[in-house]
């Protein structure tokens, strides 16, 4: 089974991971003051955890998956630079500790260091596909949030997700269990953003 079939096999779970009152409020401009800033700091932590996971996955990936994973690692480093710039502009403290959902998601990624490569690739694809679909629901975004919506829905991001899909499919059959673990972690992450 190709990984692209996973969302339609688990529609309710997928909806939880890709829709949220937070994203609706980003679209409509009704986000409470400070909610985006709180969320940005947590996402910066998440991206740092994702880079650690992805760099280790690159180290053990099959040849055909190396290029997309290496390109993704560079993009994550650039993403961390972007968070540093955004934090300076908005006066955010990126050293604020991780919230429980961020810790749990990081723990999941850490556990996946020991998973089969195909399972880990399915997980990484699910992380990125969920995020792309989720931010797409916030389009075009209220004017004050539009730059963030555009940042996470650019065509290059969709192309990256498609390349991860191909790498995951090449590495083996899709794994429902890891998909559902990622979906639960994404769902909890959005719930933290705007409970
Ligand atoms: C991503 C993210 C995608 N930044 N945050 C969450 C909670 N899930 C997924 O990461 P990126 O930065 O697109 O690789």
For a mutational test of ligand 1's pocket, the pick from 50, 104, 112, i.e. the residue with the most ligand atoms closer than 8 A to its C-beta, is 50
Tokens of 20: 């949220």
Q: Measuring from each residue's beta carbon to the nearest atom of ligand 1, which residues come in under 6 Å?
A: 43, 46-47, 50, 76, 79, 127-128, 131, 186, 189
Q: Which atom of ligand 1 is nearest to the CA of 72?
A: 14
Nearest CA-CA partner of 35 in 24, 50, 48, 19? 24
CATH number of the 3-190 domain = 1.20.910.10
Report which of 178, 176, 171, 190 is spatially closest to residue 131, judged by C-alpha positions.
190
- Of 133, 118, 114, 120, nearest to 186 by C-alpha is 133
CA 9, 14, 15: angle at the middle one, nearest 5? 125
User: Which CA distances in Å does 100 have to 52, 77, 133, 185?
Assistant: 19, 24, 24, 11
Nearest-atom index, ligand 1, CA of 79: 12
Q: Which of 106, 2, 131, 130 is nearest to 54 (CA)?
A: 106
CA 172 to centroid of ligand 1, rounded, Å:
23
> What is the C-alpha to C-alpha distance for residues 171 and 70, in angstroms, rounded to an integer?
16
pLDDT in tens, the chain (195 residues): 999 999 999 999 999 999 999 999 999 999 998 999 999 999 999 999 999 999 999 999 999 999 999 999 999 999 999 999 999 999 999 999 999 999 999 999 999 999 999 999 999 999 999 999 999 999 999 999 999 999 999 999 999 999 999 999 999 989 999 999 999 999 999 998 876
Distance 47 CA to ligand 1 centre (A): 6
- Using the atom order of ligand 1, give the atom closest to the CA of residue 131: 9
DSSP 29: T
């Amino acid at each position: 089974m190709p990984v692209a079939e996973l969302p339609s096999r688990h529609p309710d779970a997928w909806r939880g991971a890709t829709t949220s009152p937070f994203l609706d409020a980003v679209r409509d401009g009704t986000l409470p003051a400070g909610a985006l800033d709180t969320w940005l700091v947590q996402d910066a932590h998440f991206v740092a955890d994702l880079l650690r996971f992805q760099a280790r996955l690159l180290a053990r990936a099959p040849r055909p998956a190396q290029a997309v994973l290496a390109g993704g690692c560079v993009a994550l480093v650039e993403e961390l630079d972007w968070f540093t710039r955004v934090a300076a502009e908005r006066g955010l403290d990126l050293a604020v500790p991780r919230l429980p959902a961020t810790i749990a998601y990081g723990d999941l990624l850490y556990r996946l260091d020991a998973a089969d490569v195909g399972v880990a690739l399915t997980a990484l694809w699910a992380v990125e596909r969920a995020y792309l679909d989720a931010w797409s629901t916030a389009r075009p975004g209220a004017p004050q949030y539009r730059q963030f919506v555009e940042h996470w829905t650019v065509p290059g991001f969709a192309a990256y997700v498609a390349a991860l899909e191909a790498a995951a499919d090449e590495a083996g059959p899709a794994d429902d269990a890891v998909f559902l673990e990622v979906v639960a972690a994404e769902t909890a992450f959005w719930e933290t953003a705007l409970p």
